[in-house]
């Protein structure tokens, strides 16, 4: 296991090096993350993320309310992939209690989760380019994201904190308008991806700022437990949707997008590729959605998972989101541990950042796509 | 080096072309305060009591299901059983919207489906009290009429039920009499009883 070199000590009598606190209020940290940087001029000698500014005790809250009441919390842990977390939590409880989910609900879940993945990646694209100084792609990406949010809003009634899943299905049925809108969006967005490539990926300034910057190699990534696009950008083809297919993901044809290099540019390419794969999945799901109920008829009134330990994980927009549940057979969980990808990703910063320039910190931090409430939970 | 500069310059031109193609697009921004946005059908906001056709008013029966399920403890319901009525009626339905997370669990558990979402969307206030919603407000002046009607309905229903019951009893009796008559004994005794 690689350990970060301890470079945070000031050497007595050394006038050349100094500390800089980046954050907790810094526009590029996308929230309240504080990076304690040890600098020599503009070169980073050491970095130490200081977390906890956005701590909301989600795990503790889970121990103080019943399973259904924790449902709204799940879309607030990672507010950018709230749908995936929300549905993932429902699936975790369903797996523990062996509740059958109707076919139609499974399809709706896949469509909504992938739409949510698109919104998350689009927001990442916009804000990342904004961090790097490009204002135009930010506006384009938010425009596209807004269209998606409207589609999701039309069925869930909310733009960010969906609370859409229910144990045994989803809370509301989708209509043909929704399905048509989702399919139309796929056609529309394929053209937009080409535009993004022309505007961003091929842009020489963008390439210079991201290629070879913030390298997170496969060994480092695996050592730390990095997952999601960051891991795939290091060339490791791991995706929970393929490796341990949950729901009905095994029915859809899609590729695991990987890239070589593990730098910021590779992470950009993986996310762009993933958006295309999400479109593929949505199109297949919209084409194959059957009629029927969206909520299982036989859901127990009291949600009491059998005593013991249960684990379930989904692939969120950021990576491996795991829920470890310890139940004693009552209404309230004994412990609900949430394994969130951003926490792991930000933990690699003390290894990735040293040796880079201060200005690149923004590029690196943006490219790993962290969500602060997810780090702090 | 020269080649790279050339490719770089070309990439910038390609990017410019994309931007230029968007110059003539219609603006997508809505000028919000001057321009109202239509909310989606499923839009979730503060809850309200919706009208149930058979009752002509809300149908909150003070069952406390929403109070129990609410993760934020923001609902307060009180009720009473009006004289001569079988069902309870709510006398207080308060929502502290400042605490509400709009999860919609209360709508799911409502046994009479009398909870729905309000359509207003730009609530803003200066005090916490501004977000203390009294959901019975819009129904209160109708409540007396509704109760009278419900009582009448219930009385009618009870009368109908009683009538049906007495009819059934009569039918049963007639049947018994018929059986007794067929048995050819006790005719006198039955008549005497009647």
Q: What is the DSSP string of A282-328?
A: HHHHHHHPPPS-SB-S---SS--PPSEEEEEEEE-SSSEEEEEEEE-
Residues in A lying within 8 Å of B, measured between beta carbons: 65, 68-73, 136, 140, 143, 146, 150, 153-158, 161, 163, 166, 171-172, 195, 198-200, 202-205, 207
B118/B111 Cα distance (integer angstroms): 19
Q: What is the 3-state secondary structure (H, E, C) of chain B?
A: CHHHHHHHHHHHHHHHHHHHHHHCCCCCCCCHHHCCCCCCCCCCCCEEECCECCCCECCCCCCCHHHHHCCCCCEEEEEECCCCCCCCEEEEEEEECCCCCCCCHHHHHCCCCCEEECCCCCCCCCCHHHHEEECCHHHHHHHHHHHHHHHHHHHHHHHHHHHHHHHHHHHHHHHHHHHHHHCCCCHHHHHHHC
For A197, the closest chain B residue by CA position comes to: B15
Q: Which of B2, B23, B41, B42 to mutate to test the interface with A (most CBs of A within 10 A)?
A: B42
Specify the pLDDT at position B169.
Answer: 82
- All structural domains of chain B, each given as residue ranges with its CATH number in brackets, are 47-140 (3.30.70.3270)
Give the gap in angstroms from C-alpha A185 to the nearest C-alpha of chain B.
16
Mean pLDDT computed over B176-194: 58
Q: Which residues of B touch A202 (CB under 8 A)?
A: 11, 14-15
Specify the pLDDT at position A284.
Answer: 92
Specify the pLDDT at position A280.
Answer: 92
B30/B52 Cα distance (integer angstroms): 36
Tell me the ipTM for this assembly: 0.77
Give the gap in angstroms from C-alpha A153 to the nearest C-alpha of chain B.
7
pLDDT per residue as tens digits for the range A40-68: 888 888 888 888 888 888 999 999 888 88
Specify the pLDDT at position A281.
Answer: 92
Interfacial B residues in 6-35 facing A (CB < 8 Å): 7-9, 11-12, 14-15, 17-19, 22, 28
pTM: 0.86
B38/B119 Cα distance (integer angstroms): 10
Give the gap in angstroms from C-alpha A73 to the nearest C-alpha of chain B.
9
**Tokens in use for A25?**
């209020």
pLDDT per residue as tens digits for the range B10-52: 888 888 888 898 888 888 888 888 888 888 888 888 888 888 8
Mean pLDDT computed over B125-137: 87
Are the beta carbons of B15 and A73 separated by less than 8 Å? no
Which regions in chain A score pLDDT beneath 70?
A: 1-13, 28-29
B123-to-A282, B40, B45, B93, B115 alpha-carbon distances in Å = 36, 17, 10, 19, 19
Q: Which of A68, A136, A172 sits opposite B42 (nearest CB)?
A: A172
**Tokens in use for A18?**
């100094």
- Main-chain phi, psi angles of A78, to 5 degrees: -115, 100
Cis peptide before A24 (omega within 30 of 0): yes
Interfacial B residues in 37-56 facing A (CB < 8 Å): 40-44
| Sequence-distant contacts of A144-147: CB under 8 A, at least 24 apart | A144/A189, A144/A192, A145/A118, A145/A119, A146/B28, A147/A185, A147/A188
Neighbours of A40 (CB within 10 A): 12
Whether the per-residue pLDDT at B189 is higher than 80: the answer is no
Give residue B157's pLDDT band: very low, low, confident or very high (50, 70, 90): confident
Give the gap in angstroms from C-alpha B36 to the nearest C-alpha of chain A.
15
Q: Which residues of B touch A204 (CB under 8 A)?
A: 4, 7-9, 11-12
Q: Which residues of B touch A191 (CB under 8 A)?
A: none
Are the beta carbons of B15 and A203 separated by less than 8 Å? yes
Q: Which tops the pLDDT comparison, A140 or B186?
A: A140
A36/A57 Cα distance (integer angstroms): 24
Specify the pLDDT at position B193.
Answer: 45
A317/A269 Cα distance (integer angstroms): 14
In B5-16, which positions are buried (b, 16+ CB within 10 angstroms) versus exposed (e)? eeebeebeeebe
**Tokens in use for A4?**
């970060």
- All structural domains of chain A, each given as residue ranges with its CATH number in brackets, are 69-302+340-376 (1.10.645.10)
Neighbours of A74 (CB within 10 A): 27
Specify the pLDDT at position A297.
Answer: 84
Specify the pLDDT at position B190.
Answer: 47
Regarding beta strands A308-315 and A335-339, do their DSSP bridges make them parallel or antiparallel, or are they unpaired?
unpaired
Q: Which of A61, A68, A192 to mutate to test the interface with B (most CBs of B within 10 A)?
A: A68
Q: Which tops the pLDDT comparison, B85 or A128?
A: A128
Q: Which residues of A touch B111 (CB under 8 A)?
A: none
Nearest to A54 by CA among A85, A28, A23: A23
B21 contacts: CB under 8 Å, gap ≥ 6: none
């Amino acid at each position: 296991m690689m350990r970060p070199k301890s470079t945070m000590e000031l050497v007595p009598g050394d006038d050349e090096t100094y500390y800089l606190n980046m954050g907790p209020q810094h526009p590029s940290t996308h929230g309240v993350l504080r990076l304690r940087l040890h600098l020599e001029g503009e070169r980073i000698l050491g970095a130490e993320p200081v977390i906890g500014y956005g701590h909301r005790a989600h795990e503790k809250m889970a121990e103080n309310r019943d399973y259904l009441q924790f449902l709204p919390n799940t879309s607030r842990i990672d507010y950018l992939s709230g749908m995936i977390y929300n549905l993932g939590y429902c699936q975790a409880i369903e797996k523990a209690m062996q509740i059958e989910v109707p076919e139609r609900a499974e399809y709706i879940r896949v469509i909504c989760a992938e739409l949510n993945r698109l919104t998350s990646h689009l927001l990442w694209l916009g804000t990342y380019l904004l961090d790097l100084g490009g204002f135009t792609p930010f506006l384009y990406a938010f425009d596209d994201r807004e269209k998606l949010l409207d589609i999701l809003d039309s069925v869930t009634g909310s733009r960010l904190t969906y609370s859409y899943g229910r144990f045994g299905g989803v809370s509301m049925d989708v209509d043909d308008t929704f399905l048509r809108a989702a399919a139309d969006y796929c056609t529309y967005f394929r053209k937009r991806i080409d535009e993004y490539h022309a505007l961003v990926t091929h842009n020489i300034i963008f390439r210079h700022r991201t290629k070879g910057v913030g390298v997170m190699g496969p060994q480092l990534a695996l050592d730390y437990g990095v997952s999601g696009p960051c891991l795939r950008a290091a060339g490791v083809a791991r995706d929970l949707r393929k490796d341990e297919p949950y729901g009905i993901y095994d029915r859809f044809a899609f590729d695991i997008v990987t890239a070589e290099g593990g730098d910021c540019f590779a992470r950009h390419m993986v996310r762009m590729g993933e958006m295309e794969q999400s479109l593929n999945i949505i199109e297949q799901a919209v084409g194959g959605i059957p009629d029927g109920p969206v909520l299982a008829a036989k859901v127990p009134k009291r949600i009491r998972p059998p005593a013991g330990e249960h684990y379930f994980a989904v692939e969120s927009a950021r990576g491996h989101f795991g829920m470890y549940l310890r139940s004693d057979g009552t209404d309230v969980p004994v412990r609900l541990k949430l394994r969130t990808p951003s926490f792991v990703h930000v933990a690699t910063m003390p290894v990735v950042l040293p040796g880079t320039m201060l200005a690149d910190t923004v590029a690196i931090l943006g490219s790993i796509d962290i969500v602060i409430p997810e780090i702090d939970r | 080096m020269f080649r790279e500069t050339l490719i770089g310059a070309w990439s910038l031109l390609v990017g410019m072309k994309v931007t230029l193609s968007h110059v003539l697009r219609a603006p997508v921004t809505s000028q919000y305060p001057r321009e109202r946005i239509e909310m989606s059908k499923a839009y979730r906001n503060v809850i309200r009591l919706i009208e149930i056709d058979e009752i002509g008013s809300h149908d909150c029966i003070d069952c406390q299901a929403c109070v129990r399920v609410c993760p934020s403890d923001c609902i307060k319901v009180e009720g009473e059983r009006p004289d001569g009525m079988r069902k309870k009626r709510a006398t207080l339905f308060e929502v502290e919207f400042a605490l509400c997370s709009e999860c919609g669990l209360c709508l799911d558990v409502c046994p009479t489906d009398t909870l729905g979402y309000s359509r207003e969307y730009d609530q803003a206030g200066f005090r916490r009290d501004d977000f203390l919603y009294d959901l019975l407000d819009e129904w209160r002046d109708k409540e007396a009429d509704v109760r009278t009607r419900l009582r009448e309905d219930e009385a009618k229903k009870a009368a109908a039920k009683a009538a049906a019951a007495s009819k059934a009893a009569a039918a049963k009796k007639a049947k018994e009499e018929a059986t007794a008559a067929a048995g050819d004994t006790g005719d006198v005794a039955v008549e005497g009883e009647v």
